[in-house]
A and B are shown apart, each in its own frame.
Chain A
């Protein structure tokens, strides 16, 4: 398998990049999906109208079979570590009847019409919905192609197609033993009618789906040959690094570049309205040049902004009613008659993504064309926004997408591409703009700060009778996908706060949108649930404690109507040895969720040292994600998501003082390290349901599991993240 990094102009497929860019979303309808997450309606086009090349068989936008026998699968989802370049080909290959090692992968070019995620409505990889979105259409794409290849062979042999079958890239005629390779059939297959209906395999017939497949992208990633966006080197490329206004919304007031220009290897200083870039022969010179610049900033309107101001504005916002996200029963009445009431305030901080590959983008802006090299989760968005910045029509912007050195939501935004184009407008020839780590952390777009005011009521038997939650925070959807924000609500901000697995007879949730001044917020691994599951699973634990009941037993009693949730909770508790004694200042905590259409329970085991520091020793996870497509990457994603969430629980916090982010590098924005990593056990429940999302679920579940374990170990309830170790001494 090879990966082609140059796909923007895939000749036989590209109908031309989308010309109306972001406005195409206008016709899409947003609404809450039954299984949670974003659901926007969009049908994927199929047909052979793209099959223009005479010698290639291109039954749809995802498959191209050349007469030379080369089978190319076009990947509408990007590989950022989650294993999509293995699991998506498995879906196509299952029905196409090829082996994954027979295919070559190509990044899909920007084309919202052909490559939008059906769940998201745009061409983007995020919200854990690649497999969910691809499950039907990409298996169908494979089945259509296989049917046409079989039909071509049957016609050639003048036999009944039913007497032929496809296997390992060939069509066989069993009665006579004749066989033809797909490549030999490509030209004929291209002239076959596209079948209107195809039957998809039943799960018991899967030969690839459900097997622990090896990742296809591993070999290049262990020998240094994998090419990420930051690795591209078009001939004559210069390297630039930049300083953006340290205060949100500030501008360059004056600049003295005398010393910077004297640095060996520095070629040019680029001044923008709100940033300065140094262009050089190599990054070492660019960084030295940047350090030598004397820049005076006009700090603008946010120069006095502090995190505390934002938190108190959010707290105030939870005092006033907001749009109702979900209501069941009569919560006021139930609360009035409750035997026990529990009230709490919860809050979670801004978080940076800190992808290991810092933000970067390479641009070659010519007179009437713009060429871009980048690793992005949203290639069509990059094209549309870069076109605006370059003042060119989108079809004049060529985007080469690459492997991503981590995405986590950061690379769903195109700000880095826009910035690189702004710089490239002043530079002759190609320029690679590489952000320093400090710039990457201080000019991220952050996971929103959220604040929750929540209360619950228990009857005299300790059974919950009322649940009332009002929370305030930024809506990422309102900025990123405006049609998805309707009537003051969006499906991301509320996921994990509503449609809980528990049987709660009187349930009321409101969401108040409040944007922090000057600060852009963005999707961050596990998105809305990153906040909501922390609050709901911590608070259900508080209610269990108020009812003087075991946290697992308390939850199980509320799950009669949610058998999948009940099963994963029971399994995780059993595997974790729930109830077995632990040493002093050690504890187990549990969390249960149904988000991204996946059911998951986690039990975290922690120990709290005398100095208050928390060590997460072991995590047991039980997951029902529907039919497991690739158990190998499911396990890997859960391990990964848990480390990501433990990092957030122990360390994650971006704070703002005088309009500036206080953290800058991995010393002040810490990431979990090998010596702190918990052991992780993953138990996958066999299921015949459609697959759920897998990349993010582990992150939202672990944070409350850890917080609840700290409560079990110390009796201290953590209502604010990250963990304040001083309070645990």
Chain B
């Protein structure tokens, strides 16, 4: 059936089964490939988007649960103040390696900074431990979040 979803401020109509995960609607139906597939079970965080500002694993979020909520993806997160700070810190600190998980890392970090402008190490652990980075960029992710929080 058809669903109308609002992504990065634009409303799209998509015709898929209601239990289709948002991830595949974004990537395969709408062609927004910045959001990544990693596990399909909310174990790795690569697919993290914001649903009304809350970090959400799109791989287990059925399209029929979205309703009128506003979805923000990596493609538009730089337009938010916290997202812009995080992206700049990621560049300054040279966080990325292969980069595949970094969309999800940035979405989780932005959500953290939005809710806690001055996160402690424990806050960073809590917010970021759901996001796996196989390249192990954790040292620089932590530094970058701290830089973004201080800027």
Chain A residues close to B by CB (< 8 Å): 80-83, 214-215, 217-228, 230-231, 233, 239, 263-265, 281-285, 287-288, 354-358, 403-408, 434, 436-437, 632, 636, 639-644, 647, 665-667, 671-675, 677, 679-680
Residues of chain B from 106 to 134 with CB closer than 8 A to chain A in the complex: 106, 124-126, 128-134
Would you call B24 and A282 a contact (CB within 8 A)?
yes
Would you call A643 and B136 a contact (CB within 8 A)?
yes
Q: How far is the CB of B52 from chain A (nearest CB, A)?
A: 20
Would you call A674 and B90 a contact (CB within 8 A)?
no
Which residue of B is nearest A355, CB measured?
B134
Would you call B37 and A283 a contact (CB within 8 A)?
yes
Would you call B132 and A673 a contact (CB within 8 A)?
yes
List of A residues within 8 angstroms of B140 by Cβ: 636, 639
Closest 6 CB pairs of A and B: A224-B34, A643-B136, A405-B100, A81-B98, A221-B99, A81-B97
Q: Tell me the total A-B contact number using a CB cutoff of 8 A.
A: 197
Would you call B91 and A224 a contact (CB within 8 A)?
no
Q: How far is the CB of A354 from chain B (nearest CB, A)?
A: 6
Would you call B43 and A665 a contact (CB within 8 A)?
yes
Say yes or no for B40: interface residue by CB 8 A criterion.
Answer: yes
- Cα separation A223 to B19 with both chains bound (whole Å): 28
Would you call A674 and B125 a contact (CB within 8 A)?
yes
List of A residues within 8 angstroms of B41 by Cβ: 437, 665-667
| 16 more CB-based (< 8 A) A-B contacts, given A230-B33, A288-B17 | A80-B98, A81-B99, A83-B97, A220-B99, A221-B102, A222-B106, A224-B34, A224-B73, A233-B33, A264-B16, A265-B16, A356-B38, A356-B46, A632-B94, A636-B94, A673-B130
Would you call A214 and B33 a contact (CB within 8 A)?
no
Would you call A674 and B124 a contact (CB within 8 A)?
yes
List of A residues within 8 angstroms of B136 by Cβ: 639-644, 647, 672, 677
Most chain B beta carbons < 10 A, residue from A285, A354, A408, A675: A675
- Cα separation A228 to B29 with both chains bound (whole Å): 18
List of B residues within 8 angstroms of A227 by Cβ: 33
Would you call A219 and B91 a contact (CB within 8 A)?
yes
- Cα separation A343 to B134 with both chains bound (whole Å): 36
Q: Decide if the interface of chain A is mainly helix, strand, loop or mixed.
A: loop
List of A residues within 8 angstroms of B94 by Cβ: 214-215, 218, 632, 636
Q: How far is the CB of B29 from chain A (nearest CB, A)?
A: 6
Q: How far is the CB of B126 from chain A (nearest CB, A)?
A: 8
Say yes or no for B138: interface residue by CB 8 A criterion.
Answer: yes
Say yes or no for B5: interface residue by CB 8 A criterion.
Answer: no
- Cα separation A579 to B36 with both chains bound (whole Å): 46
List of B residues within 8 angstroms of A225 by Cβ: 34, 75
Would you call B139 and A677 a contact (CB within 8 A)?
yes
Say yes or no for B56: interface residue by CB 8 A criterion.
Answer: no
B25-40 near A? 1/0 per residue, CB < 8 Å:
1011101111111111
- Cβ-defined partner of A230 (8 Å) among B17, B29, B37, B103: B37
Q: Indicate whether A284 sits within 8 Å of B90 (C-beta atoms), given known contacts A82-B97, A223-B78, A354-B134.
A: no
- Cα separation A644 to B33 with both chains bound (whole Å): 26
List of A residues within 8 angstroms of B25 by Cβ: 282, 284
Say yes or no for B21: interface residue by CB 8 A criterion.
Answer: yes
Which residue of A is nearest B142, CB measured?
A674
- Cα separation A582 to B74 with both chains bound (whole Å): 44
List of B residues within 8 angstroms of A223 by Cβ: 34, 74-75, 78, 87
- Cα separation A644 to B17 with both chains bound (whole Å): 39
15 contacts between A and B (CB under 8 A): A81-B97, A214-B94, A215-B96, A218-B96, A221-B96, A223-B78, A224-B73, A282-B27, A284-B20, A355-B100, A403-B99, A434-B37, A437-B40, A640-B136, A666-B43
List of A residues within 8 angstroms of B147 by Cβ: none
- Cα separation A81 to B99 with both chains bound (whole Å): 7
Q: Indicate whether A281 sits within 8 Å of B28 (C-beta atoms), given known contacts A224-B74, A265-B16.
A: yes
List of B residues within 8 angstroms of A639 by Cβ: 136-137, 139-140
Would you call A356 and B36 a contact (CB within 8 A)?
yes
Would you call A667 and B98 a contact (CB within 8 A)?
no
List of A residues within 8 angstroms of B43 by Cβ: 665-667
Which residue of B is nearest A265, CB measured?
B16
List of B residues within 8 angstroms of A666 by Cβ: 38-39, 41, 43-44, 132
Q: How far is the CB of A218 from chain B (nearest CB, A)?
A: 5
- Cα separation A283 to B138 with both chains bound (whole Å): 30
Q: Indicate whether A284 sits within 8 Å of B98 (C-beta atoms), given known contacts A223-B87, A674-B125, A675-B125.
A: no
Q: Indicate whether A222 sits within 8 Å of B87 (C-beta atoms), given known contacts A283-B27, A640-B137, A667-B43.
A: yes
- Cα separation A214 to B137 with both chains bound (whole Å): 16
List of A residues within 8 angstroms of B78 by Cβ: 223
Would you call B100 and A356 a contact (CB within 8 A)?
yes
- Cβ-defined partner of B128 (8 Å) among A642, A643, A674, A679: A674
Say yes or no for B101: interface residue by CB 8 A criterion.
Answer: yes
Say yes or no for B141: interface residue by CB 8 A criterion.
Answer: yes
- Cα separation A265 to B16 with both chains bound (whole Å): 8
Q: Indicate whether A358 sits within 8 Å of B96 (C-beta atoms), given known contacts A283-B27, A671-B132.
A: no
- Cα separation A667 to B38 with both chains bound (whole Å): 13
Most chain B beta carbons < 10 A, residue from A80, A284, A667: A284
- Cβ-defined partner of A673 (8 Å) among B19, B20, B129, B142: B129
List of B residues within 8 angstroms of A674 by Cβ: 124-125, 128-129, 131, 138, 141-142
- Cα separation A287 to B23 with both chains bound (whole Å): 13
- Cβ-defined partner of A224 (8 Å) among B98, B103, B125: B103
Which residue of A is nearest B130, CB measured?
A673
Most chain B beta carbons < 10 A, residue from A81, A222, A288: A222
Which residue of A is nearest B107, CB measured?
A224
- Cα separation A214 to B133 with both chains bound (whole Å): 20
- Cα separation A510 to B94 with both chains bound (whole Å): 43
B74-88 near A? 1/0 per residue, CB < 8 Å:
110010000000010
- Cβ-defined partner of A671 (8 Å) among B126, B134, B142: B134
Would you call A233 and B129 a contact (CB within 8 A)?
no
Would you call A665 and B39 a contact (CB within 8 A)?
yes
